[in-house]
Every structure is written in C-alpha cells, then in structure tokens.
C-alpha cells in the first residue's frame, strides 16, 4: 500500500514498481489523501479548460481512474480537501478545513480503516518533509507513520475494523539525488548536453546552504551550553526539537536534502512505459514534454533501472540492501 497526497503523485513516485508487483501477482493499493482540488494547471497543452474550471474535482478523479487502470492497482480516496501550496513571505494561512489542518488522529483514522480492510504487509509513504515540503505531503507522512504504528493496536482507533499490523514501512525516494547525478554524468560521458545541469547546481547550492546551517546550529549549541551549562543546554535543545514524526510546517524549509540513504532498489526496467502511461493520464498535471520525461527510457534502463526506497522500520528480519520490498516476508 502506497499513501499519496494528491492524484498524480502515485504516477510520479513508484508507478513502475507498482506495475511490476501487480504483474507478479501482488495486491497493490494506492490511497490518495486529497482530491487535488487546488492543483494548478501544469500542462500548457491541456485543452478543456472550461471543464477544468467547472469541475476540477471530477477531472482529477477521472485522471486518477485512468492512471490506476494503467497500473492495474486498487485505489481508495480518503476524502480530505487539498490544502494547496501556499506562496508568499510570510506564508498565508492554509484554507480552513483543508487536509494539512486536520488534527492527526482525525486525519489518520480513515487510513487506519483502509489498512485494516486491505491488510497490507508493506506500507510506503513520504519522508519527514513529504519528499518536498508541500503541506499535504507532510501531513501524508504524518498519518502514514501514525497509521503504521497504530493499525495493529486494538486499543487505538476503535470502530475502524479488526487490527492489522503492517510488517514494513518504507519512505519513497523518487527524487534520489544519486539517480539524477548518474543520469547527468551519462549525458556528459556521451558528449551531450545534460537536461539535469541546473538540478546539479541546485543540489550543490543546497549542500552548501545546509552545511552553513549545520555549522551555525553547532555554534549556537556550543554557545548555549557554555552560558547555561551542558545539562540545561541539552534540555533546551531537546525542547526546541519537533516531536517525532510531527514536522512543524512553519519550520520546514523550501527543500532539504535528507539524510535518508536508499536501502532498497526495485528493478523496473520493463515497466517504464506503464509508468509513462499512468503519468500521461494526469493531463492537467503532467506536461508530456516536461521534466518527467527528460531522460529517455532507454537511458534509464542503462543507467538507473530502479525505483528507490528507504526501509524505516521492519517487524520481520531482513538484510540490507534489499532488492524486494517483501524481503523477510516470503
């Protein structure tokens, strides 16, 4: 089971993996938290803007149905309202009642119900910044972790079905920098212009910025400890940290390179075309000439024929690195 924030996220993050497991006989489900009602039109070639303006919810539901059929997966909506991506400095308040503002247990309850119904062995979600810090992606992370911890506890979430304990929790690493570096280097080795050159510059600037932040934070801790004493300073530092699994939106930067290292790579070379079909089904969100298709599939097959994941927790014995999400389960 993969938990995603919006329709189209399932096709840009793990679609080929799901197609591979579906073909191998696994039961695969995507859970979509919101309807994507506040999504922008991202495909300049999209034609039916009148219908989109009139019924964006219906359009995006139809796109999701088409993408799901391409991947052969089951699908459930949680039914929350898209929060949109706030912009500005300072950021404006989120819309009342949107997904990102729903209290954790209220937001997690329908996911717990679906887990108890579908009974997945493997649960896949986003990392602490949601893959990228969209409020709905961060909330999707929070409820995925909460549901993984709680779905097997008969004392938690009464009235949502018989308890079921998923065996493994993964974070998706669709935007693994190592993948893009490998593709960039493949273009350069062939003497061609790389479509990922700007991304490489961006990664370099992020690394420099985060190194400076880490240095400043260390200096601040040392100064605080010198002033207050080690024990008191350590306590203040702990009090200042976000609660586990509960990143605070106002403190999440625009983007960060996370410390999560890939533990699990699924070979998907034979399923890239099914991924592309699912992506193109989301016509309002995916430009068929855009960045999702920057690297030809033949280059992907030669250079990076995997989709990448991080094993966060396992209730079964496994050995890293893995080449199968079900390692330890069969």
* Residue 86, in any domain of the structure: yes
Which CATH number characterizes residue 305's domain?
3.40.50.10320
* Residue 242, in any domain of the structure: no
pLDDT at 229: 72
Q: pLDDT, tens digit, for every residue of 23-56?
A: 999 999 999 999 999 999 999 999 899 999 999 9
Q: Tell me the chain's radius of gyration from C-alpha atoms.
A: 21
Spell 218-252 as b/e; 16+ CB within 10 A means b: eeeeeebbeeeeeeebeeeeeeeeeeeeebebeeb
* Residue 63, in any domain of the structure: yes
pLDDT at 231: 56
* Residue 15, in any domain of the structure: yes
Number of domains the chain contains:
1
Domain that holds residue 144: 2-175+259-314
Can you read off the two tokens belonging to residue 188? 């350069």
192 in Cβ contact with 183 (< 8 Å): no
- Beta-sheet strands, E only, within 131-211: 168-172
Strands 168-172 and 122-125: parallel
Q: pLDDT, tens digit, for every residue of 78-87?
A: 999 999 999 8
Which residues are paired to 308 by β-bridges? 265
7 in Cβ contact with 71 (< 8 Å): no
Maximum C-alpha span of the chain:
65
pLDDT at 254: 54
Strands 168-172 and 306-314: antiparallel
Strand order in the sheet with 306-314: 74-80, 29-34, 2-4, 122-125, 168-172, 306-314, 264-267
139 in Cβ contact with 81 (< 8 Å): no
* Residue 213, in any domain of the structure: no
130 in Cβ contact with 173 (< 8 Å): no
* Residue 269, in any domain of the structure: yes
Phi and psi torsions of 81, nearest 5°: -85, 130
Helices in 13-55 by DSSP H: which ranges?
Answer: 15-23, 49-54
Residues of the chain with pLDDT under 50: 233-253
In terms of residues, how long is the chain? 330
* Residue 289, in any domain of the structure: yes
Rounded to whole angstroms, how far apart are CA atoms 128 and 147? 15
Rounded to whole angstroms, how far apart are CA atoms 256 and 278? 28
């Amino acid at each position: 089971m993969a938990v995603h924030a919006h329709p189209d996220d399932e096709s840009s993050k793990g679609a080929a993996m799901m197609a591979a497991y579906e073909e191998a006989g696994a039961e695969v489900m995507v859970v979509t938290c919101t309807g994507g009602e506040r999504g922008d039109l991202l495909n300049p070639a999209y034609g039916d803007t009148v219908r989109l303006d009139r019924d964006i919810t219906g359009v995006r539901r139809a796109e999701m149905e088409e993408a799901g059929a391409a991947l052969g997966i089951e699908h459930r909506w949680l039914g929350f309202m898209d929060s949109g991506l706030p912009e500005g400095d300072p950021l404006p308040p989120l819309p009342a009642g949107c997904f990102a503002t729903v209290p954790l247990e209220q937001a997690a309850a329908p996911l717990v119900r679906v887990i108890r119904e579908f009974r997945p062995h493997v649960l896949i979600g986003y990392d602490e910044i949601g893959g990228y810090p969209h409020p709905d992606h961060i909330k999707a992370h929070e409820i995925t972790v909460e549901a993984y911890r709680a779905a097997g506890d008969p004392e938690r979430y009464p009235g949502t079905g018989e308890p079921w304990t998923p065996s493994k929790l993964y974070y998706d690493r669709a935007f693994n920098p190592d993948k893009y570096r490998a593709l960039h280097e493949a273009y350069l080795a062939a003497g061609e212009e790389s479509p990922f050159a700007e991304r490489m510059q961006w990664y370099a600037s992020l690394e420099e910025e985060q190194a400076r932040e880490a240095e400043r934070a260390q200096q601040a801790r040392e100064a605080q400890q010198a002033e207050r004493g080690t024990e008191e300073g350590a306590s203040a530092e702990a009090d200042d940290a976000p609660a586990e699994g509960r990143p605070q939106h106002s403190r999440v930067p625009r983007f960060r390179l996370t410390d999560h290292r890939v533990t699990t790579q699924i070979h998907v070379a034979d399923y890239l075309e099914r991924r592309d079909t699912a992506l193109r089904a989301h016509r309002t969100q995916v430009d068929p000439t855009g960045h999702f298709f920057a690297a030809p599939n033949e280059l992907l097959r030669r250079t990076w024929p995997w989709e990448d994941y991080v094993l966060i927790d396992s209730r079964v014995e496994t050995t890293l690195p893995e080449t199968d999400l079900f390692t330890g389960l069969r």
